[in-house]
Amino acid sequence: MYSDEIGLIRGRSKIMIRHSDQVVMKAVALCFKPYLKPEEALIYCDLGRTQFAKKCQEFGVYKNNSGYFKRGDLERMLSGGSGDDERGYKRGTR
């Protein structure tokens, strides 16, 4: 281990992260999170707020009780999948 890494582990020094590197790390983290905040969902889908709202309504994608979107639902929406789940229920009507 390098001395900077040891210092970081022990909390003795801070390593500066460039803004561009931080943006890339956040983008990669979005790809692995099972639930996304509304702002993260907009970034993940690469849609504007209005387009995102229309798509969500069209495909029946809604936030859960905690205010998060399920990434699987967003993936289904982006792939153009059906608005119905496996059992034939319309999302959000149960």
Is 12 found in the same domain as 26? Answer: yes
Distance CA 31, CA 16 (A): 24
- Predicted local distance difference test score (pLDDT) of residue 7: 42
Burial track 30-40 (b if 16+ CB lie within 10 A, e otherwise): eeeeebbeeeb
Is 68 found in the same domain as 57? Answer: yes
Is 9 found in the same domain as 41? Answer: no
- Predicted local distance difference test score (pLDDT) of residue 16: 76
- Structural domain for 27, as ranges: 1-32
Is 15 found in the same domain as 39? Answer: no
Residue 35 has pLDDT above 80, yes or no: yes
pLDDT in tens, 53-80: 999 999 999 999 999 999 999 999 999 8
Contacts of 44 (CB under 8 A, 6+ apart): 30, 31, 36, 71, 74
The pTM of this model reads 0.61
- Predicted local distance difference test score (pLDDT) of residue 38: 93
- Predicted local distance difference test score (pLDDT) of residue 20: 84
Residue 89 has pLDDT above 70, yes or no: no
Is 52 found in the same domain as 25? Answer: no
* Count of structural domains within the chain: 2
